[in-house]
Chains A and B, each alone.
Chain A
Amino acid sequence: MSNKETYKLQIGPTHPAFKEPVRFEFEVDGEHVLHADIDMGYTHRGIEHVSKERNFIQIIYLLERICGICSTSHPMAYCLAVENAAEIEVPARAKYIRTIVGELERLHSHLLWAGVAAHEVGFDTLFYTTWDIREKVMDCLEVISGNRVNYAMLTIGGVRRDIIGEVAEAVNKTVEYYSDLYSQLEDIMLNDMSLRLRTENVGILTYDEALKLCAVGPTARASGLAKDVRADYAVNAYPDIPWLKAITPNDVGKKPVGDIYDRIVVRVLEIKQSVDIIRFCMENMPGGEIVAEPKAVKVINQLKKVKAHGIGRYEGPRGEVSHYDILDNNECPVGVKVKAPTYSNIISWVPMFRGAEIADIPIIMSSIDPCIACSDRASFVEGEGKKTVSFGELRKLSMEKMNKIRRGL
């Protein structure tokens, strides 16, 4: 054929490979992808706007629900931002507990990602295995916080629960479990033939592209860009850890290519790093208070008197979570700006899809560990038909409905 006929392949918003709604439009020639286009915004919930109507304590739990997996990262960044603006000093012990919870979350997120990625390439056994292994850290988090997914551990100026006694023992046991299991896990994830066949030299993001497109997290590190908020920017207990550094494929003596295999390498090594950090924190945890001001209402009143800007950054499991909060002598912030790691990485998808095959689409898509819900968070909802219903109207409607039901009681 002299003139090549291409056709458009729509994938999404709902597709078995996608855990969340996002729409891709691919220009496809046979099995080869020529061009990719991304359309988002299917899960808008208006969190940034809603935040402006809540007080500082309420926002923590609202932000926790931006994403189920990063349910410590978002409140962490938010608390850091507010503490930065109001210049609240966090007690030393709280810093360590924050670090431990954050690292447990990273452990759980990376294992979850490994399972999802394995499922995308049709390796269901690995999916079940990693999720089975992940149960242990979920149980540990349940013991610490009382819930498997939404930990509600953080508050402005510290943490809400201490890690002592039985809880500390549970954490130590989890650390032991993972250090025992690590070598087997590493062997499976890095040396399995069929997995390597699917991931090597697929979805390449070069160093320059990662730098220019502001990629974050394991995606950037797999391209050799040593960008890790934990190592770059002082938060929590991370400055205390002398050996902490951003992990790149160089650490296993491999030249970074920026393909999916490198992203697996980075994540697998980070599992080990997380375990080591938790062990370090458990051994070196100082005593003392866990929160600067335990009374929530007092905190709200204290923050009412602040007029400042605050930036909070934290390395979530998927990359840099960054919040920018504007406080203006009010019970509620005037502005809350949220950036989830996926938001920075969306644009990195475009070069990754270059030259890919259709079979590579799901694994490339999941290789940045996307969290669409994190990125979509603006402010209105699509109503029935073509009418657009604003958040306020929608709420009014639902309030009416609720009142109607209540009257019927």
Chain B
Amino acid sequence: MNELTVFLIMVISTLIGGIYLGLLGRGIDRKIAAKFQSRIGPPIRQGFWDLKKLMLKQTIVPENSITWVFKGAPLVALVTSAMLLVYIMVPYLLYLTGYESPMFAHMGDFILVIYLLMIPAIALVAGGFSAGSPLSTIGSQREMVVLMATELPLAVTVIAFAVKMSVLAPSMPSFSIFTAASNPVWNGMGPAGILGVILLASAFLFIIPAETGKIPFDQAEAETEIAEGLLAEYSGKYLAFFQLAEALKSLGVVALVVVLFFPQGVSTIMGGQMIAGGINITVPCEIMFFLLKVSVVYSVSISFIRVSMARLKISQVSKFFIYSVSAVSITGFILIMIDPRIMAM
């Protein structure tokens, strides 16, 4: 098969699957949260219904808003979120399917992923500022603070991975997701290094809700404080775009964590191809296993954390990330660096 055809198939299937799974994930998340809160909760299909309803609703643009920013922001958020998902998923799918080609070796650069993580948030901020309401302005300011606070631990993690990858697979590009997927970070490491990776993973446990704007880090939306903050003025299809963008971004961030920390596929664990009835079912099994991992990470880092904590204040969020989470991730980074096996190489 032509490389380009494979690439296009993967992108399109990721997009379609991503939208479907993202909305389904929202439904499952709400159901699980409801279960934690001892209630029934909405049907799992609620995400799709919400989207459908919002698309049909009248869209109101505030009079004193900057119209083109206000209208453009949701689209930017949606497109970049979709790009983020594609950018994380395609290299990983390539790795899972075992399709190797020099063209794809550099795919999925960490630095670009960090930027892509930022752009939907910046689009939200721009949309919030342009709406011209004091509540959305406060929401935008808060979103900026959360965005900046999470940058440091995120960057530290990425650098740690790059360093580790350069040691594990010197022949491959260090910043590539493909490399990280094919060389699990847990390999070739002593106890100190493993502890370091665990610390990095636990830092990510809090970065995920912050990136996706969930309690305890939903200050930008904070329903009871600033009435949905930067989404306060959005309605109709623009709100639907933001919701879809958020669903895609949540899936993307969770997928990133899975790819970085738990990339091992079924075949790696079982030590070979999966064959049932003479048919090679490795790829479907790999995808199912991946979805399982995603749902576990999703329900722990998004659903569980969100039901077990109160919303923090914005000053506490910045302190929490700049001091505690950064300290944890830097410690993790140092532990990985001083791991004797890395030192030896």
Q: Which residues of B sit under 8 angstroms from A31, Cβ to Cβ?
A: 138, 141, 314-315
The answer on a CB contact under 8 Å between A7 and B227 is no
Q: State the CA gap A156–B223 with chains docked (Å).
A: 45
Is B309 located at the chain interface by the 8 A CB criterion?
A: yes
Q: Return chain B residues, CB-CB under 8 Å to A190.
A: none
Residues of chain B with a CB closer than 8 A to A192's CB: 310
Instruction: Compute the total of residue contacts between A and B using a CB distance below 8 Å.
Output: 77
Task: State whether B313 touches A360 (Cβ < 8 A).
Answer: yes
Task: Let me know if B216 and A17 touch, CB within 8 A.
Answer: no
A244 within 8 A of B: no
Binary flags per residue of B312-332, CB closer than 8 Å to A gives 1, else 0: 111110000000000000000
Partner among A7, A17, A128, A198 whose Cβ is within 8 Å of the Cβ of B310? A198
- Say yes or no: is A306 at the interface (Cβ < 8 Å to chain B): no
Minimum C-beta distance from A197 to chain B (A)? 6
Binary A-proximity of B201-233 (CB < 8 A = 1, otherwise 0) = 000000000000001101100111111100000
B36 near A119 (CB under 8 angstroms)? no
A:175-218 near B, CB below 8 Å: 192, 194-195, 197-198
By beta carbon, the residue of chain A nearest B223 is A16
A123 with B310: CB separation less than 8 A: yes
Asked, given contacts A128-B39, A132-B38, whether A359 binds B310 with beta carbons under 8 Å apart, the answer is no
A128 to B307, CA, bound (A): 10
Chain A stretch 119-167: residues in CB contact (< 8 A) with chain B: 119-126, 128-129, 132
Closest CB in chain A relative to B322 CB, distance in Å: 16
**CB nearest to A192 among chain B residues:** B310
CB distance B218 to A125 under 8 Å?
no
The answer to whether A122 and B224 touch across the interface, beta carbons within 8 angstroms, is yes
Q: Is the CB of A362 within 8 A of B310?
A: no
Which of B218, B226, B314 neighbours the largest number of chain A CB atoms within 10 Å of its CB?
B226
Q: What chain B residues lie within 8 Å of A122 (beta carbons)? A: 215-216, 218, 222-224, 310-311
B308 contacts chain A at the CB level, 8 A cutoff? yes
Interchain CB contact (< 8 A) of B225 among A7, A126, A128, A359: A359
Complex: A122 Cα to B312 Cα, angstroms: 8
- A118 contacts partner chain B, Cβ-Cβ < 8 Å: yes
CB-CB under 8 A for A118 and B227, given A128-B37, A359-B222: no
**B134 interface contact, C-beta 8 A:** yes
Q: Are B313 and A118 in contact (CB under 8 A)?
A: no
Q: Within residues 117 to 152 of chain B, which ones have a CB less than 8 A from any CB in chain A?
A: 134, 138, 141
Min CB distance A232 to B, Å, is 35
Q: Interface readout for A349-367 with B: 1 if CB under 8 Å, 0 if not? A: 0000000011111100000
Q: Which residue of A lies closest to B216 (CB)?
A: A194
Expressed in whole angstroms, the minimum distance between the Cβ of B222 and any Cβ of chain A is 7
Q: What residue in chain B is nearest A118 (Cβ atoms)? A: B310
B224–A119 CB distance below 8 A? yes
* Nearest A-chain residue to B145, judged by Cβ: A31
Chain A, Cβ-Cβ closest to B224: A17
Q: Which residue of B has the minimal Cβ distance to A31?
A: B314
Interface string of A231-273 (1 = CB under 8 A from B): 0000000000000000000000000000000000000000000
A197 touches B315 (CB 8 A): no
Is A358's CB under 8 angstroms from B216's CB? no
| A15 within 8 A of partner (CB) | yes
Among the interface residues B216, B224, B307, B310, which one has the most CB atoms of the partner chain A within 10 A? Answer: B310
Tally of chain A residues near chain B (CB < 8 A): 31
On chain B, the residues within 8 Å of A10 by CB distance are 134
Please measure, in the bound complex, the distance between the C-alpha atom of A361 and the C-alpha atom of B138, giving whole angstroms: 14
Q: Are A125 and B308 in contact (CB under 8 A)?
A: yes
B37 and A124 form a contact (CB under 8 A): yes
- Is A308 interfacial (CB 8 A cutoff)? no
Shortest C-beta distance, A14 to chain B (Å), equals 9
Give the nearest-CB partner of A121 in chain B.
B310
- Of the listed residues B216, B218, B309, the one surrounded by the most CB atoms of chain A closer than 10 A to its CB is B309
Tell me the complex Cα distance, A272–B250, Å.
43
Interface: A9 (CB within 8 A): yes
Report how far A121 CA is from B308 CA in the complex, Å: 12
B227→A16 contact, CB < 8 A: yes
363-383 of chain A: CB within 8 A of chain B: none
Docked complex: B24-38 residues within 8 A CB-CB of A: 36-38
Please measure, in the bound complex, the distance between the C-alpha atom of A195 and the C-alpha atom of B308, giving whole angstroms: 10
What's the minimum C-beta distance from B31 to chain A, rounded to whole angstroms? 14
A125 B37 Cβ-Cβ under 8 A: yes
The reply to whether A195 and B310 contact each other, CB–CB distance below 8 Å, is yes
Residue of A nearest to B320 (CB): A197
The residue in chain B whose Cβ has the minimal distance to the Cβ of A125 is B307
Pairwise interchain contact B310-A357, C-beta atoms closer than 8 A: no
A87-126 at interface with B (beta carbon < 8 Å): 118-126
Pick the most buried of A119, A122, A197: most chain B CB atoms within 10 A of its CB.
A122
Known contacts: A120-B224, A122-B224. The answer to whether A357 contacts B311 by CB under 8 A is no
Give the distance to chain A from B215, nearest Cβ to Cβ, in Å: 5
**Complex Cα spacing A370 to B114, Å:** 45
B256 to chain A, nearest CB (A): 26
Residue of A nearest to B215 (CB): A122
Bound together, the chains give a CA A167 to CA B288 distance in angstroms of: 56
Contacts known (A9-B134, A197-B310); A128 close to B38, Cβ less than 8 A:
yes
B224 touches A124 (CB 8 A): no
Contact status B313-A198, CB under 8 Å: yes
Beta-carbon contacts of B183-209 to A below 8 Å, as 1s and 0s? 000000000000000000000000000
A124 to B216, CA, bound (A): 11
State how many angstroms separate the Cβ of A170 from the closest Cβ of chain B: 23
Contacts of A120 in B (CB 8 A): 224
Contact call B134/A7, Cβ cutoff below 8 A: yes
Cα distance A361–B227 in the bound complex, in angstroms: 12
A195 / chain B contacts, CB cutoff of 8 Å: 310
Task: For the complex formed, measure the closest distance between the CB of B319 and the CB atoms of chain A, giving whole angstroms.
Answer: 10
CA distance A132 to B40 in the complex (A): 13
21 residue pairs A–B, Cβ–Cβ below 8 Å:
A9-B138, A16-B223, A17-B225, A120-B224, A122-B222, A124-B37, A128-B38, A129-B37, A192-B310, A194-B216, A194-B310, A197-B312, A197-B316, A198-B310, A198-B311, A198-B312, A357-B313, A357-B314, A359-B311, A359-B314, A360-B313
> Sorted from nearest, which 10 A-B pairs have the closest CB atoms?
A122-B311, A123-B310, A17-B224, A194-B310, A128-B37, A121-B310, A194-B309, A359-B313, A125-B307, A362-B224
Besides A121-B311, A359-B219, 8 other A-B contacts (C-beta < 8 A): A15-B227, A16-B223, A17-B225, A30-B141, A120-B224, A125-B37, A125-B308, A360-B313
